[in-house]
Structure 1
Amino acid sequence: MTKAGASGAGTGLPGYLALFAALYGAYGALSPFLPAFLAERGLSPQDITVFLAAATLVRLASGPLAGRIADRTERTRGVLVISLALSAVANLSLLAGHGFWPLLAIGIVQAVWTAPLAPLADALALAAAQGGRAFQYGWARAAGSAAFISATVLSGFAVDLYGSTAGLGICGAAFAAAAVVATRVVTSSGPHASIEMPECGDGIAGEVDGLPSELRLSFETRQNLAPQDEGAHGKSSQRNGFLALAAIPRFRRVVFVAALVIGAHAMQDAFAVIVWRDAGLSSGIAGLLWSESVAAEVLVFLLIGPWLFAKLGAPGVLTIAALAGALRWAVQGATTWLPALVAIQSLHGLTFAGLHLACLAVIEQSVPDNLRATALSVYGTLGIGLASALLTLASGQLFGAVGLRAFWVMSALSLAAVPLALSLRAEK
């Protein structure tokens, strides 16, 4: 890493720390308190389910579409700024809604604009990070996770004092702040640049040898493309868009890995606290367990992730994350003994943060620059989002049928991702 990269000066790191903090702070202020707000505005439990399901379905379509627009126009930052600003407006508009149909209409509009936020922010951060030479993407993402925790806690106090509308107000303000910050973040040679490769010429071998092995592979692959082939590939990918992505084997496989490993968290998100409270653990203990998992996520983003990449590479980290998921859910399905639960919560750092970092690395290596925002949107919505939605529905049926042992199905899904992760190493 360069001296500038180490210090963050001149690299744009402060801007991305602020962007991710505002963005994920908005998520933290909204997510826990939205259902309570909807209930206060007259929606029944069935209505709330329909509201959340409709928003999820809309995001599955609007996220990839926004990513494609960003790639086609080569205005990733502009699309992000507009989406953030309109997310703030839509979120604050919910405060004026009463009754099912008005709230559902506003919620659908909100879903349209919030769907692409995280993928587009990731695309910009990865480009500005320059493959880790300017700064580590994980630093910015860790700021987001820390802000999510802080915003959830602070919003909880605000909701206690002023009601559930406080959470939506804080969320809207955070989205607006993120829009302002996004107008100022550094983009590396434009929003689609990812790695500044040295020009062909004398001394190139020494410069390439100085790059990390994963980035050196990406550079060597690009250099081996004949100029006419590279140009044809770029034109083809611009014309075909989603079809061009589907034709990239490494991209398809990494999306499947993410769908299995991160999708397996659906059971945890839906039923972990219910299981813990039924086992006699207090809400306070359940909150501490949840906080431990997010703290582990931050630790991996900041420190452990870069070390793992240096030792194992992206396919190796994916494999470890899948194995960690298999272990985590196997234990979760076997016991509610508190020391065991404390021990496995730290695995969230691998099953979520480690896996996310590795998936982004594979996408950055294997997807052309002019499809990067589209790829990240597909990965985040059609990959993780769709899998999580389907597995959440399945989790309800499984938990109703077999109770705690339903977590073993999530363990099996994580284990099924191991051969896919290993196959990515063979494709290098």
Structure 2
Amino acid sequence: MFQRLLRNGFGIYLRLSFFYGSYFLLAGLMLPYWPVWLQARGLSAEHIGIVLAIGYWIKIVVQPLIARRADSAGENRRIMSLLAVLVVAAMVGLTLGQGLWMIAILAVLLATLQQGILPLGESAVLAATRKHQLDYGRLRLWGSVTFIIAAVIGGAWLESFGAGNLVWLFIAAAALMAVGCTVMVADRRPPAAITWPEIGSLLARPSFLCLLAAAGLSQSSHAVMLAYGVIYWQELGIPEGIIGQLYGAGVIAEIILFALIGRFAGRISPAQLIALGACGGIIRWPLTALLADPIWLLPLQSLHALTFAATHLGAMAYLSKNIPTRLSASGQAVYAAIVGGVMIGAATFVSAAAYQRLGGDAYWIMGGFSFVGLLAAAGLAFTSARESRQAGSDDAGSAAPGRY
């Protein structure tokens, strides 16, 4: 009876939601507190920066390699479960490792393993939304919910038990993620011999290139906020508690959009969603440079629903509709590697130089990113329409897209 429950529509919804919740619980803990733990183990600020940078850039290589293996095998869940178990093992190894180099090596190994999970999970979720006509936004929102919960839990744990014991919280969250990967809905498809030229052919599609440019620029426009948002607001004299509320307001707005977007399924295209995200950035970032009063910054932060969530939803809708089923994991991985690795990584370097010279006025450059992203979204709309006319009524994935 329990197995039957897990296989019906509600059970599938629970399993997919649990995957997102468990994955982003760990991500929400590690984003703010991973550097804190590394510092407690004796790594200098320079060494921490190197470890984080390697973990950030390694996805460019790791994600396509793992995704190609999943597409060749025709199934994501087993590889996701293996990676998650290895993440737990690497976490446990961190408690035993002695010496800076050993900890640094294990930290990079951990990043390598963890980076491979999300593209496979996104691919499986999109396949399930197509098959069962589920609302992608209402699945993904649980990742945002647990991300907020993680920040609160991590802060309380740090205050109660100290930075050196954060690793035990990481291990518990990683174990929960392993459970989430194990109960994940299997995305089974015929095994196929996937070649690198076949994966590379995705980059020959004009619409895919426009997607990378449009979504990549919109997501990269967050670089100054992610790297220096807290520092800038502290320099303006905004209390830390208020800063926390500003970040929370953005995530809450993101959750609301994820919950409501299904009502507009079929009425708004991927290009239009990404264009909304770019328009949000054109408004959000220059005003962030100009405003210093939290009363105005609080509603301004609600534009995070557009700059992040609408852009992400548009990208997932495009990938669901346009990437061949046999390349579903590889398409996700190429997108994640280029947008989340190359473009956001480059934008982070740009933001560092810009903030050093311009301070808060660096947000104007992020507004420029959004403007160019809007132009790329127009290119996405044009190339998608042209490719659709050329292909007729056939979908690249040979399946009806789910609701986003």
TM-score by length of 1: 0.84
Task: Tell me, yes or no, if the aligned pair for 2:71 and 2:326 is still in contact at 8 Å.
Answer: yes
Q: Aligned pair in 2 of structure 1 residues 192, 281: CA closer, same or farther (>3 Å)?
A: farther
Q: Structure 1: which amino acid aligns with 2:79?
A: V
Match of 2:74? 74
Match of 2:140? 141
Match of 1:227? none
Tell me the distance in 2 between the aligned counterparts of 1:148 and 1:165. 22
Displacement, 1:307?
3.6
Percent identity of paired positions between Structure 1 and Structure 2: 27
Q: Aligned pair in 2 of structure 1 residues 170, 256: CA closer, same or farther (>3 Å)?
A: same
Q: Aligned pair in 2 of structure 1 residues 309, 339: CA closer, same or farther (>3 Å)?
A: farther
Displacement, 1:192?
7.8
Tell me the distance in 2 between the aligned counterparts of 1:123 and 1:354. 18
Tell me the distance in 2 between the aligned counterparts of 1:298 and 1:10. 20
Match of 1:368? 324
Tell me the distance in 2 between the aligned counterparts of 1:246 and 1:298. 31
Displacement, 1:285?
0.3
Task: Tell me, yes or no, if the aligned pair for 2:41 and 2:164 is still in contact at 8 Å.
Answer: no
Match of 2:201? 244
Displacement, 1:159?
1.6
Q: Does 1:128 align with 2:128?
A: yes
Match of 1:331 among 287, 293, 298: 287
Match of 1:176? 175
Displacement, 1:335?
2.2
Match of 2:91? 91
Displacement, 1:32?
1.1
Q: Does 1:319 align with 2:275?
A: yes
Match of 1:409 among 359, 365, 369: 365
Match of 2:109? 109
Q: Structure 2: which amino acid aligns with 1:154?
A: I
Q: Deviations over 1:80-103 (max 9, x none)?
A: 111111112112322223432111
Tell me the distance in 2 between the aligned counterparts of 1:54 and 1:192. 34
Task: Tell me, yes or no, if the aligned pair for 2:277 and 2:306 is still in contact at 8 Å.
Answer: yes
Tell me the distance in 1 between the aligned counterparts of 2:190 and 2:245. 40
Larger RCO (CA within 8 A; separation ≥ 6): 2
**Alignment length (residue pairs):** 378
Task: Tell me, yes or no, if the aligned pair for 1:251 and 1:367 is still in contact at 8 Å.
Answer: no
Match of 1:272? 229
Q: Deviations over 1:168-226 (max 9, x none)?
A: 322222222222232233336x2589xxxxxxxxxxxxxxxxxxxxxxxxxxxxxxxxx
Match of 1:217? none
Q: Structure 2: which amino acid aligns with 1:261?
A: S
Task: Tell me, yes or no, if the aligned pair for 1:41 and 1:98 is still in contact at 8 Å.
Answer: no
Tell me the distance in 1 between the aligned counterparts of 2:239 and 2:97. 35
Displacement, 1:290?
0.5
TM-score by length of 2: 0.88
Q: Aligned pair in 2 of structure 1 residues 185, 55: CA closer, same or farther (>3 Å)?
A: closer
Tell me the distance in 1 between the aligned counterparts of 2:225 and 2:306. 15
Tell me the distance in 2 between the aligned counterparts of 1:354 and 1:257. 12
Q: Structure 2: which amino acid aligns with 1:289?
A: L
Q: Does 1:377 align with 2:333?
A: yes
* Gap regions ≥5 residues in structure 1: 1-7, 194-233
Displacement, 1:239?
5.8
Tell me the distance in 2 between the aligned counterparts of 1:375 and 1:167. 35
Displacement, 1:308?
4.5
Tell me the distance in 1 between the aligned counterparts of 2:282 and 2:176. 39
Displacement, 1:238?
4.5
Match of 2:393? none
Tell me the distance in 2 between the aligned counterparts of 1:35 and 1:181. 25
Superposed CA RMSD: 2.1
Match of 1:229? none
Q: Does 1:398 align with 2:397?
A: no
Tell me the distance in 1 between the aligned counterparts of 2:303 and 2:264. 14
Displacement, 1:22?
0.8
Displacement, 1:263?
0.8
* Gap regions ≥5 residues in structure 2: 1-7, 386-404
Q: Deviations over 1:288-329 (max 9, x none)?
A: 0001111111111111x2244443222111111111011110
Tell me the distance in 1 between the aligned counterparts of 2:104 and 2:378. 43
Match of 2:375? 419
Q: Does 1:389 align with 2:388?
A: no
Q: Aligned pair in 2 of structure 1 residues 293, 245: CA closer, same or farther (>3 Å)?
A: same
Superposition pairs of residues 158-307 of structure 1, within 5 angstroms: 158-187=157-186, 190=188, 238=195, 240-303=197-260, 305-307=261-263
Q: Deviations over 1:242-282 (max 9, x none)?
A: 31221222222111112101011010011111111111110
Tell me the distance in 2 between the aligned counterparts of 1:97 and 1:114. 19
Match of 1:200? none
Q: Aligned pair in 2 of structure 1 residues 192, 178: CA closer, same or farther (>3 Å)?
A: farther
Q: Aligned pair in 2 of structure 1 residues 191, 111: CA closer, same or farther (>3 Å)?
A: farther
Tell me the distance in 2 between the aligned counterparts of 1:92 and 1:295. 33
Q: Structure 1: which amino acid aligns with 2:107?
A: G
SS of residue matched to 1:42: coil
SS of residue matched to 1:386: helix
Tell me the distance in 2 between the aligned counterparts of 1:340 and 1:167. 35
Task: Tell me, yes or no, if the aligned pair for 2:227 and 2:348 is still in contact at 8 Å.
Answer: yes
Tell me the distance in 1 between the aligned counterparts of 2:342 and 2:306. 21
Match of 2:22? 22
